[in-house]
Amino acid sequence: MKTDGATETKNNEMGLETRIESDDHLALRVCLRLLSCATQMENEVRKHLRIRSGISLARFDYLAQLHRHPEGLTMSAISRCLMVTGGNVTGLTNELESEGLVSRSVDSNDRRTYHVRLTPKGRRMFKKIAAEHEAWVVDMFSGLGDARQEQLHRLLGELRQQLSIATQSDDEEKIER
């Protein structure tokens, strides 16, 4: 099927939703819409952080974890929080440490374990970027209004609970086999 330029542009903007057919089940349409929204938001966040703050999303997430844990985290805990490999955390830690944004120390009880903390410089930098990021996200969602955002938040919470129940029964089924 040949498409004109306007249709192709619209399809690129819609992303995953272009896969939807009018007779597809509602659950599939909702799933693809959520995935499209998440992908679009992540792409915009990446772009915004890079352009406005000169930082990658991976660095922002790493610094955010340390900001939430002022006492610091082990490198393995950072890896679990970010759901990335230890190698990725080591690479980021090396870069951020060389820039003076984090400090790394050996655990006195286990010399194989390192603790990482934000330095004062890292904390100041993160607070500034996080405040700009929050203002930008608030602005991005402002078109929905507070009541609609509350409704969406509640519905997504219900979806998370339903997904937990559904995936738990799938996991139990696999164990029984």
pLDDT exceeds 60 at position 20 = yes
User: In the CATH hierarchy, which fold is given to the domain comprising 21-176?
Assistant: Arc Repressor Mutant, subunit A (1.10.10)
* Model pLDDT, residue 171: 62
Q: In what order do the strands lie in the sheet with 73-74?
A: 73-74, 114-118, 102-106
- Determine contact, residues 17/32, Cβ cutoff 8 Å: yes
- The residues, any chain, with a CB within 8 Å of residue 90's CB and separated by 6 or more, are 75
Burial of 89 (0-12, 13-18, 19+ CB in 10 A): buried
Mean pLDDT, residues 34-63 = 94
Sign, CA torsion 66/69/74/78: negative
| Across 1-10, 15-24, 93-102, 141-150, least confident range | 1-10
pLDDT digits (tens, 9 = 90+) for 117-168: 999 999 999 999 999 999 999 999 999 999 999 999 999 999 999 999 998 8
Which has the higher per-residue pLDDT, 27 or 24? 27
Which has the higher per-residue pLDDT, 70 or 2? 70
For the ranges 10-14, 16-20, 97-101, the one whose mean pLDDT is highest: 97-101
* Model pLDDT, residue 3: 47
pLDDT digits (tens, 9 = 90+) for 54-105: 999 999 999 999 999 999 999 999 999 999 888 889 999 999 999 999 999 9
14 falls in which pLDDT band (50, 70, 90)? Answer: low
* Model pLDDT, residue 9: 47
* Model pLDDT, residue 112: 85
| Across 1-5, 108-112, 161-165, least confident range | 1-5
> Looking at the DSSP assignment, which residues form a beta bridge with residue 110?
none
CA dist 49 and 87 (Å) reads 23
